[in-house]
Amino acid sequence: MDIKEILNNSIRTIPDFPKKGIMFKDITTLLNDKDAFKSLIDFLKERYQDKNIDFIAGIESRGFIFGSALAYTLNVGFVPIRKKGKLPYTTIAEKYALEYGFDEVEIHIDAFRDIKNPKVLLIDDLIATGGTAKAAETLIKKAGAEVVESCFIIELQDLEGAKKLESPVFSILKD
């Protein structure tokens, strides 16, 4: 099986969650399938091992899971991008629009310390409207790094979130 088949067979779709009309992609079934999870991380390692990446930045919270595992296999640093008020040190913040209002994500001001012109892979489980990913991309740039690519396990193409990003976008599954 190729990686798309493996992922499609290991991700559960839950209709009408969290509200009617939404087909929720539940990645917990991927995470607890040791063979599927290993296949995913091995696939991503193969893709990124020669890209001279210095850090992986993961978006809270599922991006932490994939980003940490991939950072470990690539032997690079991991940087969390968190919701406002969750990081203990001095941060840079970026707001993004929600359906009703705004939210905000933050990164430590020294997240990419000790590396000149750091190259960063941004990762999350899913891109929908792209608001959070765009805010994360902006934060990485504000912190002095370059986003070499934004990687998502799933892209909801109809919502066109990938078009908001300046970095190249790689999505394994496109719904």
Task: Establish whether 113 is a catalytic residue.
Answer: no
DSSP string covering 104-152, please?
A: EEEEETTTTTT-SS-EEEEEEEEESS-HHHHHHHHHHHHTT-EEEEEEE
User: Catalytic: which of 5, 46, 47, 62?
Assistant: 62
The answer to whether the beta carbons of residues 86 and 64 sit under 8 Å apart is no
User: Catalytic: which of 99, 113, 149, 166?
Assistant: 99
CA distances from 75 to 44, 52, 68, 80 (A): 13, 11, 10, 16
* Three-class DSSP category at 58: strand
Residue linked to tokens 């370059």 = 146
Q: Which residues are catalytic?
A: 62, 99
